């Protein structure tokens, strides 16, 4: 199978190439050239373990990786999860269930994609004999998940930039207490924007980026989308006939990577009737699904920080599908968005989507309500998904993080601070971070000294 860019100006590439490249050279995002029809295979997939299901699903796309190799990489990726079902489904009542996506090493759903991506990078390095230095900037969860994806992998090093003193103490510990020699938590003297600017400068220095074989951590890698399709598939396979007819996946959304994966699976012959895009107060996507107009505003901090996003980096993939898979129209839409700050989809049809938005007061109220009603504790991101559940649907809420990651919000809402053994253990370890000025020369020196 080949993968094409949403902007149509780059050649089609194999799965491994798309994973290694990340962002297509024309600035577009990779998607399968044509989508497979999975419907004839669904019955046979019903009783597979999560890892076997994932290997079967990915083998449809990763046709350039030998099947036994792929199966080994997938197995290794999900062996780090602590629940035997990997993505357990918890029924709260006859029309509400939660898909728990936080049993991975950093207790957030990003582990599903980044454990796999780390193993794919490791495999590519081992096969080619090359090394890579992975570089990312984070204000929260992605950095920790990327670090845990590459932890201890030969021929790789990872450098995560974050604003010193401006990520939560637990998030910092998840990055800076791994004890792994190839992991470098770089606390930048400045804001998140400074860290991001520094990252851009490092990749902009083409000679340096090439010489050091720099690779980016970002939310648009094709492997992330495909890895995320699998938990929707696994959940759908476990529903009853009656639940399948009414199901609406309710997805806490920021960069639109998670919910897009589910929707894409729906286009592969898995009949899923509904997706609800649940945002926090940064409601650009809620406004889009209400009006058909995508209008960029200013990012506002919220209790669900991993969803504090205005320009959703995976949105271009949806746009491409909505614009009849026409790369020229997609390119024109992205240009209009960049220059005017807004774009309206002509003849917009919601299709399977609905949406909601939750401000901080809603998040607190939802945590409290879910706790009282179901005796179940959700984190602030998952709480956004409980904003409005459609009583005519079977609501399948994706729980994207463990509540123990957000002790302050939980204490304020229900007077309890949930704990998790992984986080308790982290608190006993020394913090190994490197303070760095927001300066390209200093970053280059650091990578030259500590990179592979």
Minimum distance of ligand PLP from residue 406's CB (angstroms): 9
CB 428, CB 434: distance < 8 Å: no
* String of contacts with ligand PLP for each residue 229-268, x by CB under 6 A: -----------------------xxxxxxx----------
Nearer to ligand PLP, 257 or 451 (CB): 257
Minimum distance of ligand PLP from residue 11's CB (angstroms): 27
Q: Which of 5, 178, 330, 400 binds ligand PLP (CB under 6 A)?
A: 400
Cα–Cα distance between 390 and 382 in angstroms, integer? 16
Has 110 been annotated as catalytic?
yes
Nearer to ligand PLP, 6 or 219 (CB): 219
Minimum distance of ligand PLP from residue 286's CB (angstroms): 13
Cα–Cα distance between 345 and 365 in angstroms, integer? 34
| CB-based burial, 271-308: b 16+ in 10 Å, e otherwise | ebebbbbbbbbbbbbbbbbeebebeeeeeeebbbbbbb
Query: Exactly one of 110, 153, 276, 405 is catalytic; which is it?
Result: 110
Token duo for residue 263:
């929707």
Cα–Cα distance between 404 and 103 in angstroms, integer? 12
* String of contacts with ligand PLP for each residue 359-388, x by CB under 6 A: ----------------------x-------
Nearer to ligand PLP, 214 or 401 (CB): 401
Cα–Cα distance between 104 and 86 in angstroms, integer? 8
Residue 399: strand pairing partners: 100
Q: Which of 306, 355, 364, 387 binds ligand PLP (CB under 6 A)?
A: 306
Work out whether 136 is an interface residue with ligand PLP (CB under 6 A): no
Strand 89-93 versus strand 96-100 pairing type: antiparallel
Work out whether 277 is an interface residue with ligand PLP (CB under 6 A): no
Minimum distance of ligand PLP from residue 138's CB (angstroms): 10
Angle between helices 141-150 and 169-176 in degrees, nearest 10 = 20
Nearer to ligand PLP, 234 or 302 (CB): 302
Work out whether 399 is an interface residue with ligand PLP (CB under 6 A): no
CB 279, CB 250: distance < 8 Å: no
Minimum distance of ligand PLP from residue 277's CB (angstroms): 9
Work out whether 149 is an interface residue with ligand PLP (CB under 6 A): no
CA atoms within 13 A on the CB side of 422: 20
Cα–Cα distance between 404 and 1 in angstroms, integer? 41
Work out whether 171 is an interface residue with ligand PLP (CB under 6 A): no
Distance of CA 68 to the CA centre of its chain: 26
3-state secondary structure of 302: coil
Minimum distance of ligand PLP from residue 338's CB (angstroms): 20
Which residues are tagged catalytic? 110
Residues that bind ligand PLP (CB under 6 A): 108, 110, 141, 219, 252-258, 306-307, 381, 400-401
């Amino acid at each position: 199978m080949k993968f094409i860019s949403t902007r149509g100006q780059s050649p089609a590439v194999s799965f491994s190439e798309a994973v290694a490249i990340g962002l297509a050279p024309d600035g577009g995002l990779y998607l399968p050239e044509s989508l497979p029809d999975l419907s004839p295979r669904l019955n046979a997939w019903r009783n597979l373990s999560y890892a076997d299901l994932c290997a079967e699903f990915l083998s449809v796309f990763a046709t350039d990786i030998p099947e036994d190799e792929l199966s080994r990489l997938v197995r290794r990726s999900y062996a780090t999860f602590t629940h035997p079902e990997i993505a357990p489904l918890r029924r709260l009542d006859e029309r509400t269930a939660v898909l728990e996506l936080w049993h991975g090493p950093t207790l957030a759903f990003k582990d599903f994609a980044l454990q796999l991506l780390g193993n794919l990078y490791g495999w590519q390095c081992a096969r080619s004999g090359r090394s890579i230095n992975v570089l990312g900037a984070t204000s929260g969860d992605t950095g920790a998940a990327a670090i845990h994806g590459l932890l201890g992998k030969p021929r790789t090093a990872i450098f995560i930039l974050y604003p010193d003193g401006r990520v939560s103490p637990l998030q910092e510990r998840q990055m800076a207490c791994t004890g792994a020699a190839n992991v470098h938590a770089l606390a930048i003297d400045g804001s998140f924007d400074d860290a991001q600017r520094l990252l851009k400068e490092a990749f902009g220095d083409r000679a340096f980026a090439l010489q050091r074989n720099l690779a980016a951590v970002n939310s648009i890698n094709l492997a992330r989308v495909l890895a995320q399709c699998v938990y929707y598939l696994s959940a759908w396979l476990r529903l009853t006939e009656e639940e399948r007819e009414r199901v609406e996946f309710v997805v806490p959304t920021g960069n639109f990577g998670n919910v897009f994966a589910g929707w894409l699976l729906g286009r592969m012959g898995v009949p899923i009737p509904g997706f609800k895009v649940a945002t926090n107060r940064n409601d650009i996507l809620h406004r889009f699904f209400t009006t058909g107009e995508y209008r960029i505003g200013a990012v506002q901090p919220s209790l669900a920080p991993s969803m504090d996003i205005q320009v959703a980096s995976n949105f271009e993939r949806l746009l491409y599908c909505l614009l009849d898979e026409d790369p020229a129209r997609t390119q024109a839409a992205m240009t209009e968005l960049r220059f005017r700050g807004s774009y309206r989809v002509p003849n917009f049809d919601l299709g399977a989507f609905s949406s909601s938005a939750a401000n901080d007061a809603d998040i607190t109220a939802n945590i409290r309500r879910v706790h009282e009603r179901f005796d179940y504790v959700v984190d602030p991101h998952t709480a956004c998904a409980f904003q409005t559940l459609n009583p005519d649907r079977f609501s399948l809420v994706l729980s994207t993080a463990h509540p123990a990651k957000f002790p302050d919000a939980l204490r304020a809402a229900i007077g309890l601070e949930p704990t998790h053994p992984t986080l308790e253990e982290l608190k006993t370890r020394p913090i190994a971070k490197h303070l760095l000025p927001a300066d390209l020369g200093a970053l280059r020196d650091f990578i030259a000294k500590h990179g592979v």
